[in-house]
Amino acid sequence: MTRKAPAADADVSSLPPAKVRADGLTYGRAAAIKHLRGVDERMDRLIQLAGPFTVRPEGVLDPFAYLIRSIIFQQLNGKAAGTIHGRVLDLFGGEVPSPEALLGTSVETLRTAGCSGGKAASLHDLARHMLDGEIPSHDELRTLSDLELVTRLTAVRGIGPWTVHMVLMFQLGRPDVLPTGDFGIREGWRLVYGHELQPTPAAFRVATEAWRPYRSVASWYMYRAVDLYRAGQLDVVGA
């Protein structure tokens, strides 16, 4: 299989990742918070209101198993997705299948476990990419740049940038990821900065340039902004 050349992607970094720290991050929490609090008054107030940054990545131990789960869980609530995921594993004795075993299982069989036809096709495509050596190993996940990981993983049917962004932010502890396709993050920005409408992804990139190189942390605080708004506590930020 011919690998696609990485395209320019303003949502992630193209630089090699730093070494993973004891807390699972590749950057310092204190430095990130200091930078973001200095960006503007509203970000400073949001961080004070939301409290400490609590993300502690555990790392992806088995990329193939993680991506199987990610494909199955897409567009489903947690309970339903968990049930289907369990049924798929049951087809293989309760274990994560090998790529060969997964590719050798028919779409019809996968559908008996609750997968849609599209997800079954995506699982087969994932298995093919794994067999062709296109899915990074555990060690490669730690050494490849954000951009390279986005490029390689989104080549698989059913895996989009958002899925890889979540891996980068919450599993690999990368500092400068901006999930422009995430409704919750853009909604948090809208609330914090007092806009009537959410920005487009392109406008969101421009508006958040000051967050670099800690856009992952800022994005997490946008999730917290939505939580605070629902609890009736966000008016302090926008005042």
Domain boundaries, the chain: 29-57+177-238, 63-171
**What pLDDT sits at residue 11?**
94
CA atoms within 13 A on the CB side of 214: 21
Tell me if 29-57+177-238 shares its fold with 63-171. Answer: no
Phi and psi angles of residue 62, each rounded to the nearest 5 degrees, phi first: -135, 95
Contact 140, 12 (CB under 8 A): no
Tell me, yes or no, if 176 is annotated catalytic.
no
Kindly report the average pLDDT of the chain as a whole number.
92
Which residues lie closer than 8 Å to 214 by C-beta, 6 or more apart? 27, 31, 32, 35, 36, 175, 176
Quick check: helix, strand or coil at residue 191? Answer: helix
Residue linked to tokens 């708004």: 229
Regions of the chain where pLDDT drops below 50: 1-8, 239
CATH topology of domain 63-171: Endonuclease III; domain 1 (1.10.340)
Of the candidates 233, 8, 238, 33, the residue with the CA atom closest to the CA atom of residue 25: 33
**What pLDDT sits at residue 181?**
92
**What pLDDT sits at residue 227?**
96
**What pLDDT sits at residue 238?**
53
Contact 97, 109 (CB under 8 A): no
Cα–Cα distance measured from residue 220 to residue 142, given in angstroms and rounded to the nearest whole number = 21
**What pLDDT sits at residue 75?**
83
**What pLDDT sits at residue 10?**
78
Q: Residue ranges of the alpha helices (H) in 27-144? A: 29-37, 41-50, 63-73, 78-90, 99-103, 107-112, 117-131, 138-143
**What pLDDT sits at residue 236?**
61
Cα–Cα distance measured from residue 113 to residue 84, given in angstroms and rounded to the nearest whole number = 6
Name the active-site residue from 11, 146, 176, 182.
182
Q: End-to-end CA distance of the chain: give it in Å, rounded.
A: 54
Contact 67, 153 (CB under 8 A): yes
Phi and psi angles of residue 104, each rounded to the nearest 5 degrees, phi first: -85, 0
Give me 171's structure tokens: 């599993």
Q: What is the CATH number of domain 29-57+177-238?
A: 1.10.1670.40
Of the candidates 168, 208, 192, 202, the residue with the CA atom closest to the CA atom of residue 60: 168
